[in-house]
Amino acid sequence: MIVLTPIKKSQYPIIAQCISPDVFKEKTKEEIANLTIWIGNKKRQLSDLFKIDKTSDDTLNITINGDVEKVKRIGWGMTQGEIIINGNTGMHLGKKMSGGKIVVNGNTEGWTGSQMKGGLIEIRGDAGDYLGSPYRGSTVGMKKGKIIVHGNVGSDAAVFMKSGVIKIHGNAGPFMGFRKTGGVIHIGKDAGTRLGACMTGGKIVVSGKLENIMPTFTIERIKKKVKIEADDKAVGPFYVFLGDLAESGKGKLFVSKEKNPQLSTYERFI
């Protein structure tokens, strides 16, 4: 196991794509210390930023003890192993990862789990904007894998999501699941406006209050329970909406009946 402890604060953004079990694998402590990172526009080494310790156990795990909110691209494209971050992290955490596990005991910034292809990301604090969404302009979203957020999520999460699971225990910002074509999202508390805009497939489950529903969604029925995963069911009852009809979509929106009395007018269309 590698333990990284930040020894320096920087006012500039840092790109440290090398912090990944795949890169650290079979490298000595010296080799890891010499890996390239960028602080602003200056090329530096990993040891300039972190104190690096190698513990005796022979796992692929990496632990970061401390806040690294300026450090971008941790766990980029990782396929195995585990990263535990005891603090806040920067943007693009676990981007394009296809396996392994990332646990953040703190908050994350934008594009966490962007274009993910597999693996698990668990965030004990809040996640920033663009959770699991592709970079601006791209149409390739999350393909597989699982993201769990214990806090709240910013705007534009799960854009172009194709498959996989996102579970949010807190609130979600606006434009969640924009142009989503598959996969499951469960929002434990309240959801923001424009939920599921332009979605054509998959499920979004809202257990709390929904700010407003898009006019391009139509009600189908009322359902008592919804399956999120193999051993996880959300208990309702839920209004089931179909949409987004502007895109001839077949996505499903499950909205809690109990928390959303304003939607009861839809019941007469069932």
Partner 1 sequence: MDLLIKNGFVFDPLNEINGEKMDIAIRNGKIVKSVPDRTSKIIDASGLTVFPGGVDIHTHIAGAEVNTGRMVRPEDHEKDFVRKTAITRSGVGYSIPSTFTTGYRYSQMGYTTVMNPSMAPLEAKHTHEELNDIPMLDKATYPLLGDWWFVLENIQKGDLEECARYVAWMLGITKGYAIKIVNPGGLESWGFGRNVHSIDDQVPNFCITPREIICGLAKVNKMLNLPHTIHLHTNNLGIPGNCSTTLETMKCLESIPNDGKPIAHITHLQFSSFAGEDWGSFHSGAEEITKYINNHDHITFDMGQIIFTDTTTMTADGPFEYTLYQLSGHKWVNSDVETETSGGIIPFHYKRKNPVNAIQWSIGLELALLTKNPWKVFMTTDHPNAGPFTAYPKILAWLASKKAREATFKRLHKKAQRRSLLPSISRELSLYDLAIVTRAGHAKALGLKEKGHLGVGADGDVAIFNINPEEVDIANKYKTFRRAFSNAAYTVKAGKVLVKDGEVLQTAAGKTIWLDVKTSNQIEVNEEIKNKFRTYWTVEYENYPVTDHYIKNSSPIKIKADV
Binding site for partner 1 (CB under 8 A): 41, 134-139
Q: Are strands 62-65 and 2-6 parallel, antiparallel or unpaired?
A: parallel
Q: How far is the CB of 135 from partner 1 (least distance, A)?
A: 5
> Is-contact 187 173, C-beta < 8 A?
no
User: Of the two residues 137 and 261, which places its CB atom closer to partner 1 in the complex?
Assistant: 137
Q: Closest by alpha carbon to 4, among 80, 87, 70?
A: 87
Q: How far is the CB of 41 from partner 1 (least distance, A)?
A: 8
Structure tokens at 85: 């971050």
Q: How far is the CB of 227 from partner 1 (least distance, A)?
A: 30
The tally of CA atoms less than 13 A away on the side-chain side of residue 175 is 13
User: Of the two residues 192 and 249, which places its CB atom closer to partner 1 in the complex?
Assistant: 249
User: Of the two residues 28 and 139, which places its CB atom closer to partner 1 in the complex?
Assistant: 139
Q: Closest by alpha carbon to 217, among 180, 182, 253?
A: 253
User: Of the two residues 75 and 81, which places its CB atom closer to partner 1 in the complex?
Assistant: 75
Backbone angles phi, psi at 265, to 5 degrees: -65, -25
Instruction: Please give the C-alpha separations between residue 115 and each of 101, 127, 134, 229, 264, in angstroms, as whole numbers.
Output: 15, 16, 5, 21, 37
Q: How far is the CB of 136 from partner 1 (least distance, A)?
A: 5
Please report where in the chains the tokens 């990301």 appear, as a residue: 121
User: Of the two residues 136 and 268, which places its CB atom closer to partner 1 in the complex?
Assistant: 136
Q: How far is the CB of 124 from partner 1 (least distance, A)?
A: 29
